[in-house]
Amino acid sequence: MPRTRQACCRDGKKAEIMTQPQLIKLGRWLTLGGYFSLLFGLFAWHLVIDPPAKHLISIIVFFQLGPLMIPLFGLLNGKLYTHAWSMYMAIFYFVIGVWYAGHDEDLIIGLYVIVTSLVFFTGTVVYTRYMGKQLKAQQQDEK
């Protein structure tokens, strides 16, 4: 009779790598880290490292950095709804990164935007999932 191993279990319980509060904190840090890296990276690239023509600076800053200002307050305050819809913004910036990476001159900023938007996206997914579970459990406890 073959033996079955339960490497993931001890004492009949599933072993957890991280607890729910730790996952919420991790999601929050990933979200904020990815968000601010994306924000400051784009700002530095367009205004310091590789500035475009003078007449285009305001247009590029408005259309690329402006949308990032919309969720700032909600992300800083840990609002679940803001984290949830910020996922779509992270996907939008991922597409921008792929667009930049497709051009040889902008490969570095493209890869940077791809990585930071993926960190931003991953953080929003983790935070939204586990914070939603925690809030749902709290509502059931109140009933």
Q: List per-residue pLDDT tens for the chain, 143 residues long.
A: 444 444 455 555 666 788 888 999 999 999 999 999 999 999 999 888 888 888 888 888 888 889 999 999 999 999 999 999 999 999 999 999 999 999 988 899 999 999 999 999 999 999 999 999 998 988 888 87
Q: Average per-residue pLDDT in the chain?
A: 88
Reported in sequence order, the residue ranges of 11-124 that DSSP labels E, i.e. its strands, are 13-14
Token digits of residue 28: 């929050």
Q: In this structure, which amino acid lies at residue 138?
A: Q
CA angle, residues 69, 75, 81, in degrees to nearest 5: 105
pLDDT digits (tens, 9 = 90+) for 19-33: 888 999 999 999 999
